[in-house]
Amino acid sequence: MHHGHVHAGPHDHAHTHGREANRTRLTIALAINLLLVAAGVVGTVVFHSLALLADAGHVLSDVGAIALAMFAAAMADRPAKGRNTFGFYRTEILAALVNGLVLVAVAVVVFVEGVMRLSNPSDVHGLGVLIVGLVGLAGNLAATLALAGGDREDINLEAVLRHSAGDALGSLGVVVSGTLVLAFGWDRADPIAGMVIGVLILLGSWRLIKEPIDVLMEAAPPGLDVQEIGTAMASVDGVREVHDLHVWTVTSGFPALAAHVRTDPARDVDDVRHVLEHLLVERFQIEHTTLQVMAEQLLELEDRRGRT
């Protein structure tokens, strides 16, 4: 039985190289975000601003996202060993899930605090909030630009990039609320902005929770139609029947397939298998395949032997 390809193809090298470059980008983004969290926390205390607290929470979730992404990438690079026959790819899926749940908790804190502040507004320093907001906006744009050039197939980079773009929106909210407080002395603008950022945090967490759950439930990768794959395999010359077809995701961007195939006894089993493997790579980009191919005649003989 033939288990995928043992040798590393050019794809593997490209993938590893892409992840290497991504790591540098993630490190830059991590440094920027840590500075922004510090600025946000100081600003929250000094300028009495919930919008800054929400924004700092939002950015902190990014720091978590980036740290988890880097940890997961390092784990995914470890070779498979012992019982972990797929290596540690799933680490990044679990990391994304934890991250999503932390975001939900941050959002809840911000909403509770926001409701309290709407009924009892505190004295917000508009100018300070505005300045911290502008610094945050500049930092987020820098981090987003650093990440945008990376390999987008990587769910970790993609998740962090979305966070960063969301953060830029959060900082924009801080700038707007700081301006309103400064210009019109409207202190309630601050908790309202904080709660709007809370909604952003929740929206960001949704994808981070949904996608890992799909992977853990062994759902077929998004964008792959299992029916279509089965039909394409069955229409290969020499294939009589395809059954027990499973398609799942090991981690994002890493689909796997297993199937039993019955072939025409007149055809060479290995030839048919190679055609099938080629089809799966070329048309569906599935490189990790386990195909159990048997000629139909042999099966009939086995059936008869079983009956007597």
Looking at the fold, whether 232 and 171 belong to one and the same domain comes out as no
Residue labelled with tokens 């991504």? 22
Rounded-to-integer distance, Cα 267 and Cα 113, Å: 71
> Could you say which residues of the chain have pLDDT below 70?
1-19, 72, 76, 80, 84-88, 150-156, 159, 297-308
Q: Which domain holds residue 289?
A: 226-307
Are 158 and 44 members of one domain? yes
Q: In b/e form, how buried is each residue of 6-17, taking b as 16+ CB within 10 angstroms?
A: eeeeeeeeebee
Residues 72 and 156 in one domain: yes
Domain count, the chain: 2
Q: Is residue 221 part of a domain?
A: no
Residue 227 pLDDT: 93
Q: How many CA atoms lie within 13 A of 263 on its CB side?
A: 22
Chain center to CA of 165: 15
Q: What is the pLDDT of residue 18?
A: 62
Take residue 8 and report the two structure tokens written for it. Answer: 């590393």
What pLDDT does 56 receive? Answer: 86
For 79-129, write each residue's pLDDT tens digit. 767 776 666 677 778 877 887 888 888 888 889 888 888 887 778 888 889
- Quote the pLDDT of residue 123: 82
- For the beta sheet containing 239-251, the strands, ordered from the edge strand earlier in sequence to the opposite edge, are 239-251, 254-263, 288-295
Q: Are 271 and 302 in contact (CB under 8 A)?
A: no
Domain boundary among 197, 216, 235: 216
Which CATH number fits the domain that encloses residue 239? Answer: 3.30.70.1350
Helix, strand, or coil here: 288? strand
**What pLDDT, on the 0 to 100 scale, is given for residue 3?**
44
Same domain for 199 and 297, yes or no, is: no
The pLDDT value recorded for residue 12 is 47
Q: Does the residue 2 lie in any domain?
A: no
Query: Which H or E run includes 295?
Result: strand 288-295
What is the structure's pLDDT at 4? Answer: 41
